Amino acid sequence: MHGVIAMKLKPGPKPKAGERYPSGKLKPNQPTEGWSPTHIRRAMDNAFITAGLPAMGDQIKLMLMKKEITPRQASAAIHYAYVIGRRARVVDEAPRRHVKSPAYDQGYRAVSDIDIERLRAVDPEAADKVEAKIAAEKRDILRKYELVVSAIPKFPMIAKSVVDHLCLDDKPVHWEYLDTLRIILDRIAKAMKIEETEDSAPAKPAPAAQDDAGLYGMAAVEALERHFEQRGATITEYDVMSAKRGQWRRIWACGHTADGEVVEHHIDIEVHGMLGAALERRLVMFAESKGWKRRAQ
């Protein structure tokens, strides 16, 4: 008598979730359990490429999506990187960057690269026209370079580094420098005559005096911090006050070294045209962001 041998089959893989074709085959690129960060990132990349913005670097794009900068400021960042990239191509002493933003790279590659001498040997008249065109292009590049660079204040020195960090190197900007970044991008946008869109325009544009207050305020706080760091001291308290009959604002700090030595220092900033109250608010804001405690009144 022949017996029947029962075999226990191993369960197969569970069918994957997702949209399928009529044949039952799973459609490609379908997330199985919601949208992962990778899927979202790809969707946004495709959206910007479809919109014709391949020059928008990852960090500019990310800041725009997080609404840390406006479309006008993002446009200014791209314009700045593009202009700096073009200038790097026509000026030999301009530094080459190994890590660079897409906009910088596009600007670098956009400059005409024609062997004039070889063309002249074939067609002298055409060579003259091309040479004149390249010369005009170079003048335009240098003019726009001076335009965007003049929009960046020389003080504080970190101002240009913050903009280059984002626009040229495609690196994230620390939250402490976001206000400074926005101010400078607005200045670049103004210099490049980039208009704000209706849906992204700020409710109330900040006056130039308040822009200056932010830049000078941050520079003073950082200079004060460096003074204490160079002496191995820790700031324990600070204060902001008027000086020289209200024509200056003073930020003062006190601290001590590990040996118990007391260190005091202050920095005076001339108001000249800036709103004194705006400067004072900025000084307090930047000092508080460092974790400093204001002296009890």
In this predicted structure, what is the pLDDT of residue 60? 85
| pLDDT mean over 280-290 | 88
User: In whole angstroms, what is the distance from residue 231 CA to residue 238 CA?
Assistant: 17
Query: Locate tokens 């849906």: which residue?
Result: 199
| pLDDT mean over 122-128 | 76
* Banded model confidence at residue 53, pLDDT cuts 50, 70, 90: low
Lowest-pLDDT range of 49-58, 180-189, 215-224: 49-58
Give the SS3 label for residue 259: coil
* Banded model confidence at residue 274, pLDDT cuts 50, 70, 90: low
Tokens in use for 90?
A: 């026509």
User: In whole angstroms, what is the distance from residue 161 CA to residue 64 CA?
Assistant: 20
Give the other-Cβ count within 10 Å of 218's Cβ.
24
Query: Locate tokens 């790809």: which residue?
Result: 42
Give the SS3 label for residue 281: helix
**Who wins on pLDDT, 15 or 269?**
269
Lowest-pLDDT range of 177-181, 210-214, 247-251, 275-279: 210-214
User: In whole angstroms, what is the distance from residue 263 CA to residue 30 CA?
Assistant: 62
- The pTM (predicted TM-score) of the whole model is 0.54
Is the distance from CB of 205 to CB of 258 less than 8 angstroms?
no
- 2-30, pLDDT tens digit by residue? 554 454 555 666 666 666 666 777 665 54
Within 8 A by CB and 6+ apart from 150, the residues are 191
Structural domains of the chain, ranges and CATH numbers in brackets: 58-197 (no CATH), 208-289 (2.40.50)
Mean of all residue pLDDT scores within the chain: 76
Is the distance from CB of 27 to CB of 6 less than 8 angstroms?
no
